[in-house]
Structures are given as C-alpha cells and as structure tokens.
Chain A
Amino acid sequence: MVTGIEGHLAAGRHARAFDLIVPEYKDRVFRLACSILKDRAAAEDATQETLVRVWKALPGFDGRAQLGTWIYAITRNTCLMELRKRRPTVSFDDPDSHEAHVAAASIATGPASDPERDNLLRLVESLPENQQQAVRLFYLEDRSYEAVAEALGMPLGTVKNLLFRARKKLMALARPAEVEAA
C-alpha cells in the first residue's frame, strides 16, 4: 500500500493525506505568508486559513498541478485577501504600504535595538513589493532559489533576476550610510 500523500490522495483517503500535508507544509506556508504579510500574527492566521481551505478543497484536487504548487497558490490568494481587507485596492506589486512599515519589525526576532538591522529592513521596505517578498523569502528559505520560485509561483530565472536587482539596489542604498559612518 502506497503511504505517501499522493498515494492517499489517489486512493481517496483525503483525511489521511491531510494528516501528512500539515506537518510537511505548515512551516513553508507560514514562511511564505510572513514574506507577504510582514506580520507574524497575521501570517499565522493566514496559515491556518490556508490549511483549512486545503482541507476543504482536497477532494477536488485532480493532480494536474504539483501539490506544493497548488498549496502555495492557495496561500498567496489567502494572503492577498488579507491584504485587501487592510487596503481594498492592494495588489502584490503595491510598493507603498504604511501598514508594512508599522508591521515590519514583528517579522524578525532579533535584538530589541539594532539600528543597523532596522535600517536595512527599512531599505528592504523601500523596494517594490515583489522584490521585497523575494528577498524576505530567500533568507527565510535559507537562500534557496528553487524554494522561492516554487512558493511565489515564478520561474527560476525570474526569481534570480528579482533577487539580483533587489540586492544590487540595497547595496547601492546602504553604501552612503557606510561612508558616513566611516
């Protein structure tokens, strides 16, 4: 008997498949939600909402897409709905978000007062939204291009370009501050 997630799904054992999906995907879903929502508490709510939606939709999953791709798509939609509740006209490419600046600090758990880190995070916040998400997720996913590409639903080349442009810009923005400090 095939005991993996796909095996259970193929056999119609959706409850059993879901029992395996939760431990495998909950942290990845959470990291993606963190990179989009920039707020830990909201990301955890979105993670729960995503997994409930997965549970509801699992009987209809036809296997045309990869399971991970499907779950990440649900995650992105759930996060977008949450963003739209905060700002009705928001999209993933919205570069300007006051809530982002306010909530940014809750995403990391570093030292209480670290000006250099805070400054760098503020610089990240100044990037276009898609570059911000790519940068955050890249470091949350331990520098894996493939993990970021799968989570954001983008080709690998696109992710590499986003990360390249984002970090090159950050390098240029950070340089004047370093010169002043020196």
Chain B
Amino acid sequence: MTPTNHDSAYSDLGPCEDREFELMEYADGALPAASMPALRAHLDGCARCRAFLREWTAVDASLAAAVTPVALSAGFEDRLRERIEEVSRTVSKRAALEQEERHYAQLMQALRRGLSWRTALNAVAAGSVCGGVLTAMSSLVPDLLASLHVQLPALATAELAVGAVAVIGGFVATQLLRRPVAASLLG
C-alpha cells in the first residue's frame, strides 16, 4: 500500500469526532496556545487525524489560490471625490429650497393667524371711514344727498365731530396695519 492510499483510507474514516473543530483552528493558526500541547500529542498518535489535517490543509490551500486578492481600480478615489462634490451641490440646493419652503410655510401660518384680526380691524376702520364720510356729507352737502334720494336723519354738531374722528381713526388704523383695506377684506 502506497502512503497515499494509506492516507486516503484514514481520510475516509475521518478524524476523531471531538477533534475536528480543533484541527480546523490548528490549521488556520487560531488554536489557543493552551490547547496546543494536547492536540500535538494526539496527532503524534492518531493517523486518522493526521490524514484529516493533511486533506484539510490541501483544500485550504486550493481555496486560497482560487479566491485571489482583489483591488479597486486606479482612480477610484478621484471618482469618489467627484461624486461627493456632485452630491454636495445637490444637497446644498435641496437644503436651501427646503429652508425657503419652511420659511414660506411659517409666513403663511402667521398671516392666517394675523389676517383674521386684521380683517376685523380693517372692517371696523372701513366702517368708520364710510360712516364718517356719510356723516360729513349729510351736513355739508344736503342738496346732493337730496338729489340722490338719500335721506338721513338731522345730525347735530356732536355727530359731525364723531364722524370726523371716525374718518381720522380709520385712516390711522389702516396706515398702522399697512395693508390695503380692500385687499384684506377680500382675504
């Protein structure tokens, strides 16, 4: 029997069952140092495990040769930098757009909250202006009103004063709100 046939006979038998994993670690150079003396002593006396170890080492060497080292192609880092610059530009644009959209949303929210108050105030101002104008007109141009078939009760001087205050107050309120009355009424 040639040594090869002798080895393969023991290979067919397999190693001692509780030694397989250890033999793998031993072959990979990963067996803990504390376990080394016991395994070496076992190998000295066990042909099956020696045969298994030889076969395992052969498969290991074949795999190492088959799975050859790989490397990134030349210029990889340059291409990566270009890609990051491109992404960076896109991210900046998107961030600026999102910031503008958030700002716009906040503005619209504030406008809606304030609009109801301002609309009410503007309505009061507009009413005051109209009331004041009509009051003034009723006193100053009665003939005009008569021709327009508009009839108003007779008004005293006090009412004229109230009308004047209403006109001035409405004008001031409108200016303070800085919004055209018509535009705010229209919402």
Residues of A within 8 A of B (CB): 22-23, 26-27, 30-31, 34, 40, 43-44, 47-48, 51-52, 55-56, 107-110, 116-117, 120-121, 124, 135-136, 139-140, 143, 145, 160, 163-164, 167-168, 170-171, 174-175, 179, 182
Contact = CB atoms under 8 A, between A and B. Distances in A.
B25 A160 contact: yes
B70 A109 contact: yes
A44 B77 CA distance: 11
Contacts of B65: 110, 117
B145 to A, nearest CB: 74
By Cβ-Cβ distance, the 9 closest A-B pairs, closest first, are A139-B67, A117-B66, A108-B68, A120-B66, A171-B59, A34-B70, A164-B24, A139-B64, A110-B68
A22 B77 contact: yes
Interface of chain B, helix or strand or loop or mixed? helix
B87 A56 contact: yes
Interface of chain A, helix or strand or loop or mixed? helix
Nearest to B59: A171
Interface of B: 4, 8, 11, 20-21, 24-25, 28-30, 55-56, 59-60, 62-73, 76-77, 79-80, 83-84, 87, 91
Nearest to B69: A140
Contacts of B73: 44
B56 A47 contact: no
Contacts of B25: 160
Contacts, number: 95
A30 B70 contact: yes
A48 B66 contact: no
Most buried by A among B4, B21, B59: B59
24 contacts: A26-B72, A26-B76, A26-B77, A30-B71, A30-B72, A44-B72, A44-B73, A52-B83, A52-B87, A55-B87, A107-B70, A108-B66, A110-B65, A110-B68, A116-B62, A120-B66, A124-B66, A140-B67, A143-B64, A164-B20, A167-B24, A167-B56, A170-B63, A174-B59
Contact of A167 (B4, B29, B59): B59
Contact of A168 (B11, B20, B29): B20
A107 B71 CA distance: 10
A87 to B, nearest CB: 23
Given A108-B68, A124-B66, A145-B28, 11 more contacts: A26-B72, A26-B80, A40-B70, A48-B79, A52-B84, A107-B67, A117-B62, A135-B63, A140-B67, A167-B59, A171-B59
Nearest to B73: A44
A140 B72 contact: no
A170 B59 contact: yes
A148 B18 CA distance: 25
Contacts of A124: 63, 66
Nearest to A120: B66
